[in-house]
Chains A and B, each alone.
Chain A
Amino acid sequence: EDQVTQSPEALRLQEGESSSLNCSYTVSGLRGLFWYRQDPGKGPEFLFTLYSAGEEKEKERLKATLTKKESFLHITAPKPEDSATYLCAVSMEYGNKLVFGAGTILRVKS
């Protein structure tokens, strides 16, 4: 069964304290791995797509990396406005649905 596991479930950081979120996956035929940010009561906001092991993408304070079994979302010098739930999702070679992980709730305090 296709599975996506995110850790930690919740993370509290001080402003400026860098850290990483983990997304491990077990799927039969990965087509792509996606990172989304979701604020309470709002739709997931697309951040990154990664397609192959070794690929990296950056946007402002965020950097996503991909290996054959997991992905990391690195947050450098976070600010309070980075507080949100970060969702990891995968798509498979068959079909076009996204399978999501449970998310990591990030809180950044000033």
Chain B
Amino acid sequence: AAGVIQSPRHLIKEKRETATLKCYPIPRHDTVYWYQQGPGQDPQFLISFYEKMQSDKGSIPDRFSAQQFSDYHSELNMSSLELGDSALYFCASSLTTLGEQYFGPGTRLTVT
């Protein structure tokens, strides 16, 4: 079965640089979510989109922005990176906003 695809899988950036993470949801899934998981921590919700509109917002820094495109893929843009942004970033998708969320393999971001 098709799963959520995330790219890149690993990313190394320096402080104050910009990063773009991409997420391709499971086919026919119309809702995309972004989560951040720090070392030894549980996933923290950042933001979600349904039909290209923001549907919920969590503890996402103002330096981050995201959008969902017409083909339902989503991008998370992160600017002015800080050391504390180093984490695993997961994308999840669901069939409607009430469905189970299926997670991708994650992007490991390291800020040096």
Contact = CB atoms under 8 A, between A and B. Distances in A.
Interface string A1-44: 00000000000000000000000000000010010100001111
Interface in A68-102: 87, 95-102
Given A96-B98, A97-B33, A97-B48, A44 B43 contact: yes
Interface residues of A, number: 20
Interface string B26-53: 0000010101000001111100101000
B97 A44 contact: no
Interface stretch (B14-22, B73-81, B103-111): B103-111
A96 B103 contact: no
B112 interface: no
B102 A41 contact: no
Given A96-B48, A97-B48, A99-B45, A46 B102 contact: yes
Nearest to B4: A43
A45 interface: yes
Of listed A45, A49, A100, A101, residue having the most chain B CB within 10 A: A100
How extensive is the interface on chain B, given as a class?
A: 20 to 34
Nearest to A34: B100
> By DSSP majority rule, is chain A's interface helix, strand, loop, or mixed?
loop
A42 B3 CA distance: 13
A49 B108 contact: no
B55 interface: yes
The residue among B33, B98, B103 with the most chain A CB atoms within 10 A of its own CB is: B103
B71 interface: no
Interface of A: 31, 34, 36, 41-46, 49, 87, 95-103
Given A43-B105, A44-B103, A87-B42, 8 more contacts: A31-B98, A41-B88, A45-B103, A49-B100, A97-B48, A97-B58, A98-B43, A102-B42
Interface of B: 4, 31, 33, 35, 41-45, 48, 50, 55-56, 58, 88, 90, 92, 94, 97-98, 100-106, 108
